[in-house]
Chains A and B, each alone.
Chain A
Amino acid sequence: MIDFGNALLYASIVISAVALLGLLLKEFKKGEVFTNLVTPAILLSAVLLTFAYLLLTYYFVVSDFSYEYVSQWSSRDLPVIYKISGTWGGQQGTYLLWVMAIFLSAAWLALKTKHATPLARRMQIITLLIGIYFIVLTLMETPFSTWLEFFKQQAVTYGVSLENVIRFYEQQYPQYGLFSMEKGFTEGGGLNIELVNFWMVIHPPLIFIGYAATTIPFAAAIVYLLTKGDGWEELSRQWARFTWLFLGMGIAVGGVWAYVALGWGGFWAWDPVETASFIPWLTLTGFLHAAALHRKNKTNFSIAAPMLAVATFILVLYAAIVVRSGLFSSLHTFGESSTGTVLITAILIIALVSLALGMRRYFEEPETVEEDRGFWNKTNIFYIALLVFVVLAFVSFWGITFPAFIQITQNVKVNVASDTKNFFNVWSYPFTLILLLTLGFCLNYKESVKEKQKKTLFIVMGLTILTMLPRTDNFYLLDHNSPFWVREPGIYKLIGSISVLSIFPPLIYAAASVIGYLNGYTRTANMRVRIKGIGITMVHIAVVLIIIGAVVSSTSTTSIDMINIPIGAQGQLLDVGNGYGIRVVELSSRSLADSSSAGADSGNYNVQSVKLEVYQGNNKIGSGTAEYLQGKGGSGTYPMVSPSLGLFAGDVYVIFQGTGGGAIPLTLKIIPAIDLAWIGIIFFAVGIILIMFVKSKGRD
């Protein structure tokens, strides 16, 4: 007996196969029998998959623990919002979300183009192929498998009675309660404690919708590489921006979560999985830039642009492998799974085919005899910017890949540097400088004042190199006071000794260029053009803000570790060193469950919270509550974050690790300038939405 959810998935395979067949018959001029069915079939598949997703959500909301997946990621005492977010707690649910989003993209393509052009039809063929591939991937480890089915299988495999199997698993998983044939288990294992957080409710859908949306630009790029047809960039332009927004916001929300819920004291830790989602975002950013010049002149980046779109899609699949394979040591991994090999095969095939297509285009391209404009022209500098995006993507890719490679091939575990983040910081920093310099040069580039602009660039480059040299107490790229410093190899010491003061000349140069660019736009009368200019300005100012926030907060945080306040000392102001004092106002504990649903088995999630006041000398500089959660998968720390010091001086941040040994253990951090990064993230989002808004009106 096939489960209803699985039946929906099988049905959508069949129906989308009909659409695919219709498109293929039309493409190869073998008849138009199915042509009229194509759009309805695609829409129906999208509806079925959406329905399957809602069905899974329903099982979570009503706590139907006859399903394995539901019991793994939910429990009765969770508030409803976390029951819903439990659907993407594990890989099965995220695949379902992914495949749904691919078919929604396909539906959009169908409705927008009506498959009227060969380009649209060919793009849809590729989208459907990928869509069907992902339905199969979802079915390989379906979220709709029931315990009863599993028990029956086990009974057959081991030749024992069903009752014995059930009794065995009841003992094996006491947290699931008792099993009945009709209703399954009485309780679920619960959601991992780190995921019980508002930001974790929106982070996965943003990321996975972003991942799925890369399918459309990929399909367009492949068709273009195959046929050289025009219009691919126009058709995928809005979609690429939408992808960029979702993927970018997904990464950003992950950063916010790490900051407010994980107690890392930072928003970025170069964890393999977060890095893996950052890599396709970088190449996608590169694609958007290449596309901007490609649309003005079709010979510009006629290979670079499609190849970047293809690379983005491949890297998204790679990100899925990083999460699934269990080879990458990360906080995120869902554990080993059989889909890994299937994904690797897909990546290899797609990579080889697209590389071959790209090479063919390259050698077929007629050698354009253009007048020699010398090195200094916009396309060349833009090309350097594209390469910098690629190099930055490569640094991230390599840093998470080669340790896994060494582990597989030699069974040896290595670290990328004595401290993981040092590898990424050392190799990313010089290229970030170059990226900012190219931003400053390109954004406001004018052929007429080229010589003057060149001179400015040289001056800024000189200043950048000079500001690398000052020897200060800290503010080096790698922390010289860190115990890791002495163990760094020569090249890391060399690059690590660059003073991060050197970020400021390129930052100021870039900011000035952005403002100059905005000035140019405000003088135009056309409202739409003006809005677009403002959008582009916001996105690029965001880069400046985020880099300032990241660099200053990571190099200038004051941290006081291992503060132990005796539980008896509540209400007293205690000196914790460096001129700071902390008063514990109140210590309390509660259960996370809603009072409404709190039954006999509530209390799987316990929260300890401390109300705190932080003083510098006699001035209160911050107050709030730091929490410590215990539940499935260990514990989580929700630090106190008090943005009371202002925009630049930053946040008062206190991590509480749960009472122990009669003491309240705390870590105090003063984190400057981090708000600038948050503002930058908002600018990113608003800016790209403005650009999309203008484009959606009228033709372009």
Chain B
Amino acid sequence: MKTKKLITILVLIMILAIAVGTYNISLSKFKLSDQNTSYLGGLNWSRSLDKSLLQAQQENKPVAMYFWAVWCQYCAKFQTDTLGNPQVKKLLEEDFITVAMDLDVDKYVSYGSYSYSGYPPPKVLFLDPSGKELAGIYGAQDAAYFISVATKVRDQVRSK
């Protein structure tokens, strides 16, 4: 009886340690989004399309609008391989206003024609500061393809 009691107490302590530990690690290291910002692929993304478009108009930059979901396996891959690529990261940080749409929360959010329609995540749409759709990345495309599309969009907006 004594042995069992001892083992039980040890196991309970271990469970508690795992519970508290993983909880805190997640909060400090694996935050995906809070009220205003999403943290995906090492980048900060606004959660408000309206604010992002306003900012885009002030700075004359295009908007990169990313559709994602927690359960989307290819999004995780896209975020590390493509968005996490240093060149992609630099391009997005310097030349784009980034906004992310969480499909579990923002599925009813629509703005003009950019409602999430049909195509499964991951998906990135590029908008000009007025909100017009210029191009899109459909599926977990690689960094090279992403850069080629994004650069074209950036130059198109700059030339205006």
Partner of B31, one of A269, A399, A412, A427: A412
Which chain B residue lies CB-closest to A412? B34
Partner of A391, one of B15, B30, B33: B15
B26 touches A406 (CB 8 A): yes
Complex Cα distance, B27 from A417, in Å, reads 10
**Beta-carbon contacts under 8 Å, B1-20 to A:** 1, 3-4, 7-8, 11, 14-15, 18-19
B84 touches A483 (CB 8 A): yes
Known contacts being A483-B81, A483-B84, is A634 close to B120, with CB within 8 Å?
yes
Complex Cα distance, B65 from A300, in Å, reads 61
- Distance between A377 CB and nearest chain B CB, rounded to angstroms: 9
Q: Of B66-74, B127-135, B150-158, which stretch is located at the interface? A: B66-74
B27 touches A387 (CB 8 A): no
For B26, list chain A residues within 8 Å (CB).
402-403, 406, 414-417
B23 within 8 A of A: yes
- Distance between A117 CB and nearest chain B CB, rounded to angstroms: 31
A398 within 8 A of B: yes
A264 within 8 A of B: yes
Count residues of B near A (Cβ-Cβ below 8 Å). Answer: 38
B35 within 8 A of A: yes
**Beta-carbon contacts under 8 Å, B99-153 to A:** 102, 104, 118, 120, 138-139, 142
A331 touches B142 (CB 8 A): no
A375 touches B30 (CB 8 A): no
A384 within 8 A of B: yes
Complex Cα distance, B104 from A427, in Å, reads 27
Complex Cα distance, B66 from A543, in Å, reads 42
B76 touches A370 (CB 8 A): no
Count residues of A near B (Cβ-Cβ below 8 Å). Answer: 48
B3 touches A380 (CB 8 A): yes
Complex Cα distance, B27 from A367, in Å, reads 44
Complex Cα distance, B118 from A402, in Å, reads 31
Known contacts being A331-B71, A383-B7, A634-B120, is A395 close to B31, with CB within 8 Å?
no
A444 within 8 A of B: no
A483 touches B80 (CB 8 A): yes
Complex Cα distance, B14 from A216, in Å, reads 32
B32 within 8 A of A: yes
Complex Cα distance, B76 from A482, in Å, reads 11
B142 touches A562 (CB 8 A): yes
Partner of A414, one of B1, B31, B104: B31
A329 touches B70 (CB 8 A): yes
For B22, list chain A residues within 8 Å (CB).
398-399, 402, 416, 423, 427
- Distance between A334 CB and nearest chain B CB, rounded to angstroms: 13
- Distance between B47 CB and nearest chain A CB, rounded to angstroms: 11
Partner of A491, one of B21, B34, B104: B21
A484 touches B69 (CB 8 A): no
Complex Cα distance, B74 from A264, in Å, reads 10
A635 within 8 A of B: yes
For A406, list chain B residues within 8 Å (CB).
23, 26-27
B160 within 8 A of A: no
Known contacts being A402-B22, A634-B120, is A411 close to B34, with CB within 8 Å?
yes
Known contacts being A413-B70, A413-B102, A416-B30, is A384 close to B120, with CB within 8 Å?
no
> Contact mask A476-488 → B, CB, 8 Å, 1/0?
0000001110010
For B73, list chain A residues within 8 Å (CB).
264, 269
> Contact mask A182-222 → B, CB, 8 Å, 1/0?
00000000000000000000000000000000000000000
For B15, list chain A residues within 8 Å (CB).
391, 394
- Distance between B22 CB and nearest chain A CB, rounded to angstroms: 7
For A394, list chain B residues within 8 Å (CB).
15, 18-19
A419 touches B104 (CB 8 A): no
B30 touches A329 (CB 8 A): no
For A420, list chain B residues within 8 Å (CB).
76
B33 touches A412 (CB 8 A): yes
For A635, list chain B residues within 8 Å (CB).
120
**Beta-carbon contacts under 8 Å, A404-460 to B:** 406, 410-420, 423, 427
Known contacts being A419-B76, A634-B118, is A367 close to B1, with CB within 8 Å?
yes
A616 within 8 A of B: no
Complex Cα distance, B37 from A197, in Å, reads 39
A329 touches B23 (CB 8 A): no
Complex Cα distance, B23 from A631, in Å, reads 39
A484 touches B80 (CB 8 A): yes
A489 within 8 A of B: yes
For B32, list chain A residues within 8 Å (CB).
413-415
- Distance between B90 CB and nearest chain A CB, rounded to angstroms: 17
> Contact mask B30-47 → A, CB, 8 Å, 1/0?
111111000000000000
For B70, list chain A residues within 8 Å (CB).
329, 413, 415
B34 touches A375 (CB 8 A): no
Complex Cα distance, B27 from A489, in Å, reads 12
A597 within 8 A of B: no
> Which of A370, A375, A423, A483 is packed against the most chain B CB atoms within 10 Å?
A483
- Distance between B107 CB and nearest chain A CB, rounded to angstroms: 10
For B120, list chain A residues within 8 Å (CB).
634-635
- Distance between B82 CB and nearest chain A CB, rounded to angstroms: 10
Complex Cα distance, B76 from A305, in Å, reads 41
A644 within 8 A of B: no
For B4, list chain A residues within 8 Å (CB).
380, 383
- Distance between B77 CB and nearest chain A CB, rounded to angstroms: 8
- Distance between B108 CB and nearest chain A CB, rounded to angstroms: 12
A170 within 8 A of B: no
- Distance between A398 CB and nearest chain B CB, rounded to angstroms: 6
For A413, list chain B residues within 8 Å (CB).
31-34, 70, 102
Which chain B residue lies CB-closest to A395? B18
B84 touches A329 (CB 8 A): no
For A399, list chain B residues within 8 Å (CB).
22
B33 touches A271 (CB 8 A): no
A-B pairs with beta carbons under 8 Å apart, 6 shown: A367-B1, A370-B1, A394-B15, A411-B34, A427-B18, A635-B120
Closest 6 A-B residue pairs measured CB to CB?
A329-B70, A483-B80, A415-B30, A413-B32, A414-B26, A413-B33
**Told that A411-B34, A412-B34, A491-B21 touch, could you supply 20 new A-B pairs with CB distance under 8 A?**
A271-B71, A329-B70, A331-B71, A390-B11, A391-B15, A394-B19, A398-B19, A398-B22, A402-B22, A403-B26, A412-B31, A412-B33, A413-B31, A414-B26, A414-B31, A414-B32, A415-B26, A427-B18, A482-B80, A660-B138
B binding-site residues for A, Cβ under 8 Å: 1, 3-4, 7-8, 11, 14-15, 18-19, 21-23, 25-27, 29-35, 69-71, 73, 76, 80-81, 84, 102, 104, 118, 120, 138-139, 142
